[in-house]
Every structure is written in structure tokens, then in C-alpha cells.
Chains A and B, each alone.
Chain A
Amino acid sequence: MLSLIQREVVENKKWASDEEVLDYYAVAQCTPGVIAVNTATFIGYKTKGVLGAIAGTFGVVLPSLIIISIIAAVLQNFMEYSIVGHILAGIRVAVAVLIINAVVTMGKKAIADKLCAVIAVVSFIVSVIFPKVSPIFIVLSAAFVGLVTMKKGGEGK
């Protein structure tokens, strides 16, 4: 996604430089929400202000809106056929594997030390035992733990 944004914004439209796009991307990772959307919003804002931000956001989500609506509508109509059930049963296995792999990839980046490992394990156990506990509660608790264990004058890492 980033390379696509870079090609379009830097090379084709010349709205920003390579460094600027990387900066926007870095900032987008530190704001809540979907990173690609944040990057598009940010580039839109830097290029054409509030209207640019809205246009950028709208543009980046529109393909998803159209494509997913079509697929969801089609799938809804094919659900009665038993073969669709079999296909989806196979796909469920693939999705489980994909998410396991994603967890491993994320874990390598996110778990930098023992404290991170403890936070990850506790979050895992809490969400398994209490499936209805709000993820917001877990996110805020994790932020709290991070902040209270911060060393004075530390670099935040």
C-alpha cells in the first residue's frame, strides 16, 4: 500500500517528496485507525487543507466500499448451496493460519522486552477467558502500564 501511495503521490502527481510521504506514514502509524487511510487523509490535508483531507479519505475507502458491497451481496445469495459451505469451511482453516502468521510477524516487532511479553500474554489470557471484555479496556490498561513503568527522563522506549 505504501509503495502504491508513494508512486502515485510522489512520482505521478508530485504532491509531496519521498521523505514527506515516509514522514506522513510514520505519523499515520502513531495515530489511531487504519494506517493507509491515515496516510491518505494526511497527504490530502497537506496538499489541499480540510477539503483535501476529506477527498483523500473518501478516495482511499471508496474501492473497498464498492468491491466489498458487491462480494457481500453475491455471497449472501450463494449461501444456500452446500458447496459454498464446504468452500468456506476450507477457507476458515486458511484464515486461522493467516492470522497465526500475522500474530508471529506482529509479535516479533511489538514484543521488544519482558514487559511487552507480559502485556501480550496477559492480554491474550484475558481475552480468551473473558470474550466480552472491551478491547478498549485492554488497550487503555496497556497504555497505563507502559506509562507507570516509564523511567524518569527515559527516551520512551
Chain B
Amino acid sequence: MIWLRLFIEFFKTGLFAIGGGLATIPFLRVMSETTGWFDARNLSTMVAVGESTPGPIGVNMATYVGFTAGHGKSGMLSALFGGFLATFALVLPSVIIILIVAKVLATFKENKFVKRSFYSIRPAITGMIASVALMMTKSGVFTKGGNLLHSIDIRAAILFAALLILTQKVKLHPIFYILIAGTVGAIFSM
């Protein structure tokens, strides 16, 4: 039952993706491994769209994954429903938690055990996102399997190095780097 699974997967993500921003990405990467709804390349497209559009990236990603999972099932209507369901499931845990503990949240925030948990969870999330960064670099810069040196895509590697430098030199909205890279990809038929 794909709808139940979609709901459960995103409910779990909403409950444990702590730290905001890209915190949902490690969850989505494992989801792609275990559900087969999308692959690493899809995930990369989703991040690009999520970063280039308004709205919190976690919500954007949930809508996109739900849409893709629903679309694989049976076309546009179930795709729209999938997007809605995944987004609903993602935000449900926080809505429930806030409704239950809103009154005590101020003290909750100051609780030393809560503080300590967050202190050690944040580096774990960072480490997991780093593993996604590694995977994305592999899927973007290396095209074929086998020997690493032979499978490296020279054009992609140059673009990678150039963007790495550019993002350090000038701070632009992510959409500009995405546009630049897309244009380069189109011009050089990457």
C-alpha cells in the first residue's frame, strides 16, 4: 500500500529530521535506497528545484518526492495526491508536538537533557548530509562505474572545481549557481 508507506516514511522524517534546512536529505537518500520511488539523480533534481523555489526546502522536497512516488503509481491525479500526502505527513509530527507541549515549550527548550540531545544530534545530521554530498559528487562528476580515474567526467570535474571556487568568492542565491551549471551542461552536452 503505497499511500500508507508514503505517509509513514514522511511522518518518520518529520519526527527525526532535526536541525532544519537540509536535515531531511539523509532521510530522503535512505528512502530512495529502500523504496525505489526515485534514485540519486532524481534526488539531485529535487534538491535543485527545492533550492530554487520559495518555501522551506524540507517541505519542497516532501511535495516533490510524494509527487514522484504517486506518479509512478498511476499518473497525474495520484501524483498530486502523493505530493499532498507526503507534505501532510512531514508536518504532522511537529503540529502534534507543538499542540501538546506549546505551553511548556519555553521550559522544554531550557531543559538540559533536551539541550544535550540536540548538541549531539546536530553533528550526526551534519555527518549524514556529508555522506549525501559525497554521493552527489560521485553521481555528478563520475559517470561510469569501474576505475575511478577512468570514469571521471572531465567537463563535470572542471565545472565542479569552478563552482566550488565561485561559491566561496561570491555569495549568490543558490538558484544562480544552478542556472549557471544548467547552462554549462546544455552548452557542453554533459
Contact = CB atoms under 8 A, between A and B. Distances in A.
A116 B188 CA distance: 42
Interface string A17-41: 0000001001101111111111001
Contacts of B109: 26-27, 30
B177 A156 contact: no
Q: Most A CB atoms within 10 A — which of B24, B120, B132, B133?
A: B120
Name the prevailing secondary structure of the B interface residues: helix
Contacts of B164: 97, 100
A60 B83 CA distance: 15
Given A36-B56, A64-B59, A146-B119, A95 B67 contact: no
A38 B21 CA distance: 13
B63 to A, nearest CB: 4
Interface string B112-124: 1111111111111
Given A135-B27, A155-B112, A73 B76 contact: yes
Contacts of A147: 113, 116-117, 120
A13 interface: no
B130 A97 contact: no
B116 A150 contact: yes
* Chain A residues touching B, majority SS: helix
B115 A157 contact: yes
B126 A143 contact: no
A95 B94 contact: no
B139 A123 contact: no
A116 B120 CA distance: 6
A46 B126 contact: no
Contact of A136 (B16, B34, B55, B79): B16
Given A46-B102, A142-B123, 17 more contacts: A30-B114, A34-B91, A42-B98, A73-B79, A88-B185, A90-B190, A91-B45, A92-B41, A98-B167, A100-B137, A120-B130, A123-B123, A123-B128, A128-B134, A135-B26, A139-B18, A142-B120
B146 interface: no
Interface in A118-157: 119-125, 127-128, 131-136, 138-139, 141-143, 145-147, 149-150, 154-157
A96 B159 CA distance: 11
A94 B45 contact: no
B47 interface: yes
A61 interface: yes
B75 to A, nearest CB: 10
Interface string A87-119: 111111111111111110011011110011101
Contacts of A119: 120, 123-124, 127
22 contacts: A30-B108, A34-B24, A42-B102, A57-B95, A64-B54, A71-B53, A72-B83, A93-B140, A93-B181, A94-B48, A99-B47, A99-B136, A100-B133, A102-B22, A103-B126, A106-B22, A110-B126, A116-B123, A122-B127, A124-B127, A143-B121, A150-B116
A26 B60 CA distance: 22
